[in-house]
Amino acid sequence: MEEKMEVEKKYITVEELKLHNKPGDLWISIQGKIYNVSDWVNDHPGGDTILYNLGGQDVTDGFMAYHPSTVWKRLGKYFNGFHLKDFEISEASKDYRKLHAEISQMGLFENKGHGALYHVTTIVVLLYLVVYGVLKSDSVLVHFVCAIMLGILWIMGAYMGHDSGHYQVMSNRKCNQIAQLLAGNCLTGISIAWWKWTHNAHHIACNSLDYDPDLQHMPVFAVSTKFFHSITSVFYGRKLDFDHVARFLVSHQHFTYYPIMIVGRVNLFIQTFLLLFSKRSIPNRTMNIMGILVFWTWFPLLVMCLPTWSERVMFVLVSFAVTALQHIQFTLNHFSGDTYLGPPTGNDWFEKQTAGTIDISCSKYMDWFFGGLQFQLEHHLFPRLPRCQLRTVSPVVKELCKKHNLPHRSLSFWDANVTTLKVLRTAALQAWDMTLPVPKNLAWEAVNTHG
């Protein structure tokens, strides 16, 4: 009977599956079964970009990483009756799936600790102190300290939005969405819709130069000389021109890196407005816009409560400068990782995440500062894992990387900065060299070889 049922199964090959990767004809494979998600793609909570990037492929590892067990039960209605015939699972993927199952059986995905409570309490206390200090004190020093606390508050708010976006930190999904809007839109002025759109694409296409938006900072930064060929961003749907302006800016990027990080928050504000007021389909657009309006009401009012324009400018710049620490951390996790051109592939999920991520080593008492993202590889492999569990699984991930001869790079905060600056400097010198009359020159070679 079993043999008869096996014969009756309909199969397609990997090559045939690849043909179904377009809007209106979008198929994916999960554990050997083929699912037609053509009509589901626009309603996918994680956005359509992920499904289009991985369309026509086996996506078992990525699906496992992002979805709880309850979602697996909903797959049946998308099954189109076909099975994948000739797909070979890599040994690294086999071990990854085994480790994922073990973590799930241990209940680590559900054991969130009390991190959310501590985080919310910290944010509320900081907000109270900032408002009280600005309104009740005339001291410039007090206002300076308030600006620092506001920057820390924004960092904590971003971590809260990040965590609630990846897994449910509150009691139910609705409360979780409210936490995202409050922590993201209302508190930091950065839309959770924009974050989901870019961040999910980043996770899936980690360090792909043309698919990962977190590496596409032209004309300001270029982490690879491949950007010098004006590659096309698949994510943004436009060409990243390497023109004379880009050459000038990139050739100085190792000097401008930290100053730009200080005002990097302005870019996030701009990106938020560009998305929310674009023609693109955005879930909960009205709620996101209302949340942004909340931010752009309380923050300007708070700044205007300061007595002089010099203090107002100081207050804004200092608060932005503090948040630069977080922006720097985000770039440290990936700028010096391995990069590639082309779309992500489902069968090397584990390998691509290890190649493109950098961990930051720190003592346990500093975990609050990094928001769990110092375990960047562990977070990429298990994005639903609460931050309090990342340190627990890190030794096992290291052993798995060692077993399969894959990188597990963990640097101190200082060394990560040095490594990132070296990457920026190498690209900058080559960009500078391209502006000179000859392809190579002695000064360039002396600096690049011995500098």
Q: In this structure, are strands 79-84 and 10-12 parallel, antiparallel, or unpaired?
A: parallel
Question: Residue 303: its pLDDT value, please?
Answer: 97
Reply yes or no on whether the pLDDT at 437 is more than 80. no
Helix (H, G, I), strand (E, B) or coil at 345: coil
Comparing 108-112, 248-252, 346-350, the range with the smallest average pLDDT is 346-350
The CATH number of domain 2-88, selected from 1.10.287.3510, 3.20.20.70, 3.40.190.10, 3.10.120.10: 3.10.120.10
Question: Residue 215: its pLDDT value, please?
Answer: 94
Question: Residue 258: its pLDDT value, please?
Answer: 96
Distance CA 364, CA 380 (A): 20
Q: Model's pTM, two decimal places?
A: 0.89
Question: Residue 450: its pLDDT value, please?
Answer: 37
Reply yes or no on whether the pLDDT at 284 is more than 60. yes
For the segment 433-442, the average pLDDT, to the nearest whole number, is 47
Closest C-alpha among 212, 154, 190 to residue 274: 190
Of residues 113 and 242, the one with the higher pLDDT is 242
Domain with CATH 3.10.120.10 in the chain: 2-88
Question: Residue 436: its pLDDT value, please?
Answer: 47
Reply yes or no on whether the pLDDT at 448 is more than 70. no
Question: Residue 231: its pLDDT value, please?
Answer: 92
Question: Residue 288: its pLDDT value, please?
Answer: 93
Distance CA 149, CA 145 (A): 6
Distance CA 236, CA 161 (A): 23
Reply yes or no on whether the pLDDT at 332 is more than 80. yes
The backbone region for 191, taken as left when phi is positive above 0, alpha when psi lies in -120 to 50, beta otherwise, is: beta
Burial of 120: CB neighbours in 10 Å, binned 0-12, 13-18, 19+: middle
Residues 76-111: tens digit of each pLDDT: 889 988 898 888 888 999 999 999 999 999 999 888
Radius of gyration of the chain (CA): 23
Burial of 348: CB neighbours in 10 Å, binned 0-12, 13-18, 19+: middle
Helix (H, G, I), strand (E, B) or coil at 105: helix
Residues 20-79: tens digit of each pLDDT: 988 889 999 999 899 999 988 888 888 888 888 888 899 999 999 988 888 888 888 899
Q: Please report which confidence band the pLDDT of residue 443 belongs to, taking 50, 70 and 90 as the band edges.
A: very low
CB 79 within 8 A of CB 49: no
Mean model confidence pLDDT for the chain: 88
For the segment 109-124, the average pLDDT, to the nearest whole number, is 83
Question: Residue 7: its pLDDT value, please?
Answer: 53
Question: Residue 48: its pLDDT value, please?
Answer: 83
Residues 187-233: tens digit of each pLDDT: 999 999 999 899 999 999 999 999 999 999 999 999 999 999 999 99
Reply yes or no on whether the pLDDT at 160 is more than 80. yes
